[in-house]
Structure 1
């Protein structure tokens, strides 16, 4: 049975490290391959350094990751996975940003399209682990663009957690199970 695990937390909370450890454990249990679906785009010097650091960490890990650099349209690679594979997507907020800014107009269709992309990947692998950021904890801006983004992200998080078998909040490197039974 295909499973979805949703992991969220603040910036630098340890959620990616937890997700990578969980994915590695799941792949060992299932005898499947590990896939890392990276959504980041090197838009500035800091992001470029973060992407390179993450790539280097995966290379140096004992796990054998297959990395997919897919900043938009994740549904296009859904058929690349097998029923034993564990897919880790990092991160949902970056994917949403990329999708929104690749369009001329923002509309509610983007939410349905993203959810369908996640579902397509989930249907083709054993475990889909999604990492996202809790950017909505910050004070809400009066900027209309920020408000619209916040609404879309909030609805996207709700839709994904509703579909997820497990949902975790990571704070200071400590994962807190928010939905699902402890495995």
Structure 2
């Protein structure tokens, strides 16, 4: 991505499968915003870290170790829209990840989830800060055999598509490569 595109992109969406390099690509774009344009980077961690899960804690630590020391960390497990709305214009928010945030809210009924989703989309459309969102691709496999799995997959797919309509660029990261879908593809309305 040319440096000028990083500055002019208010909402950037990065999606892809597990271990594809999504977070690293988001970190690279956020670092460009900081070094080239003087933006303050705030890493928005959406996970609720269980303290008794050593493997999970190791994953969190690996993410921390990759980030520059001057980046701030904001833990936002539920109120992502409020964090986006409160961010100053000279800020780059790196939200990692939408799937984890959605999982924290998965027990919401359909009406409450629709309100939560609408609030997030509204805040993204009105954002003064740059927002880089990392989203997992979960719908490329079999349909989950249980209702909660289907709810997660369907909600994340719909949310990612709606954010994709707001974001520019939208990246697909797979196999360690980032593809700019905004430049290569055609957006589907609806």
Both proteins in one fold, TM over 0.5: yes
Q: Structure 1: how far apart are the matches of 2:183 and 2:34?
A: 20
TM-score normalised by the chain length of structure 1: 0.85
Kept in 1, the 8 Å contact 2:30–2:41? The answer is: yes
**CA drift at 1:97:** 0.2
Q: In the alignment, does 2:99 pair up with 1:93?
A: yes
Equivalent pairs counted in the alignment come to: 175
- Consecutive unaligned residues of structure 2, counting only runs of 5 or more, are 1-7, 185-190
TM-score normalised by the chain length of structure 2: 0.82
Q: In the alignment, does 2:138 pair up with 1:135?
A: yes
- Consecutive unaligned residues of structure 1, counting only runs of 5 or more, are none
* Counterpart for residue 165 of structure 2: 162
Cα distance, 1:54–1:14 mapped onto 2, change above 3 Å: same
* Counterpart for residue 46 of structure 1: 55
Give the superposed CA RMSD: 2.2
Runs of 4+ with deviation above 6 angstroms: none
| Alignment deviations for residues 101-135 of structure 1 (CA, whole Å, 9 cap, x no partner) | 4x4xx314314413423542663443110001111
**CA drift at 1:3:** 1.2
* Counterpart for residue 25 of structure 1: 32
